[in-house]
Amino acid sequence: MEKPTWLNEASIKITLDARPLLAQGIHPLEKVMAESGTLKTGEIYQIITPFPPAPMIEKMEALGFVSFSEQQPDNFFHTFFCRQ
């Protein structure tokens, strides 16, 4: 899948590597929702996970974000949420 035009590295304002949280059994959804609430239009939240975060993508899109997720060469997923 081709990267969307809104995905600009300079617009990434928050990055969360959720792997340590997940390893502790902590689901990062509440943290992502709280932190993404601080973003302005066009700003991006990035999360790194060991799997595609499908329920989180659905929740964030329901809150008005657009999303893009891609598997990296290290097999981890980088998902981006952009406030519209």
**38-82 pLDDT, tens per residue?**
999 999 999 999 999 999 999 999 999 999 999 999 999 999 999
In a domain, 4, yes or no: no
Domain count, the chain: 1
The CATH number of residue 65's host domain is 3.30.110
In a domain, 14, yes or no: yes
Q: Which domain holds residue 63?
A: 9-83
In a domain, 79, yes or no: yes
Contact 15, 46 (CB under 8 A): yes
Q: What pLDDT score was predicted for residue 49?
A: 97
In a domain, 3, yes or no: no
Q: What pLDDT score was predicted for residue 81?
A: 98
**Residue 42: both structure tokens together:** 């066009």
Contact 84, 50 (CB under 8 A): no
8 pLDDT higher than 90: yes
